[in-house]
A = this chain, B = another copy of it.
Amino acid sequence: MGEGAGDCGRGRVTLQDVAAHAGVSRSTVSLVLRESPLVAAETRERVTRSMAALGYVYNRGAATMRGGRTRTIGLLVCEITNPFFAELTAGVDQVMDAAGCATFLANTGESADKQDRVLQRMREHGVDGVILCPAAGTPASLVGRMRDWGLPCVQALRHLSARDGDYAGSDYRLGMELVTEHLVRLGHERIALVGGTLNHSAWADRRAGFAAALKRHGLRADIVLRIPLTRRAGMEAAAALLARSERPTAAIAFNDIVAIGLMLGLSDRGVQPGRDFAVAGFDDVPEAAMARPALTTVATQPFQIGGEAASLLLRRIADPHGAPERVIVPTRLIIRESCGAVPRRERGRAPRSA
């Protein structure tokens, strides 16, 4: 069917074909495509009809060659199966879709090697910019290297250097101070921090907030466990916590997943979280409200962070030489049941959260 250009499908309709069909020149069709006010209404109408009739598809690759942008960005996350990164991704997608940009996704799996490889590939594809959740072990020099490449980059959730480059994330430090203060107010003096095995800013910030809050009250921040960030590892960490000589009465986990595992491990050992032991999480994933007891945690709004990171990247692409920005999405302490009763015995049972 149609102009009989090729044999069987790969005969793509070009702007030239549309021009011939509408009886105008390539240039005019190009102007119509880009909604230039220069073309007469009647001509525009005719060309538009020809495009529809031939089933024309814009070839963005060809357009790019003549010096333009690709309207394409890259998103590198550490672990897409982590709901936290999945939410971030959804936020990025929403903003980028609205801006008419397509997003390359790559799951680095915390491997700096894969991250390098993927970044290289995205460069070859000519992405206009990148949103990067740096894998643990990424050298801080990467930011400078990307600047040399002329590739706009927004770091998200984690950053390689405290002052360098664009960044969107939460104030983990403040969030951690909030929960820690909360536990101290409830009377806890021996509070454990249960973190991941990897070193990156999201961990350093949490740890700093934890230490700062305890220090303010003359308490020591010396109970720190480092375990894989899985439900199961959290469950197993309960034993380690209970076995300590000076047994802690509360624990704050790096994230909700670990906190929920921790609660399970505690109750499996006859220690009821929220009554015999306080547990707090971080992130406020949907699961947290549904846990039993419902989990006290710090909301970090990853979807919003994703949206902010995307908007910031679009701004940076439009103005590559602008001053670096750091967008901090506020955290909120969400008080539920899991830190409820300790150390005073509570009256009956804690109220259900809505």
Chain A residues engaging chain B, CB cutoff 8 angstroms: 9-10, 57-62, 64-65, 70, 72, 75, 79-81, 83, 86-87, 89-90, 93-94, 97, 100, 102-107, 114, 117-118, 120-126, 149-150, 230-232, 235, 260-261, 264, 267-268, 286-287, 290, 292, 320, 352
Contacts and interface: CB of A to CB of B under 8 A. Distances in A.
Given A124-B59, A125-B60, A126-B61, A104 B106 contact: no
The 8 A-B residue pairs with the shortest CB-CB distance in the complex, in nearest-first order: A9-B150, A105-B105, A93-B107, A60-B124, A58-B124, A86-B86, A231-B290, A81-B86
This chain: copies in complex? 2
Most buried by B among A126, A235, A320: A126
A261 B235 contact: no
B106 A93 contact: yes
B80 A86 contact: yes
B65 A93 contact: no
A264 B292 contact: yes
A113 to B, nearest CB: 11
A286 to B, nearest CB: 6
B93 A235 contact: no
Contacts of A61: 61, 64-65, 70, 125-126
Contact of A107 (B64, B90, B149, B320): B90
A80 B107 contact: no
Nearest to A352: B268
30 contacts: A9-B150, A57-B120, A57-B123, A57-B149, A61-B70, A61-B125, A65-B65, A80-B80, A80-B93, A81-B86, A81-B87, A83-B86, A90-B107, A93-B106, A97-B106, A97-B114, A100-B121, A103-B104, A104-B104, A104-B105, A230-B286, A231-B286, A231-B287, A231-B290, A232-B290, A235-B290, A261-B290, A264-B292, A287-B287, A292-B292
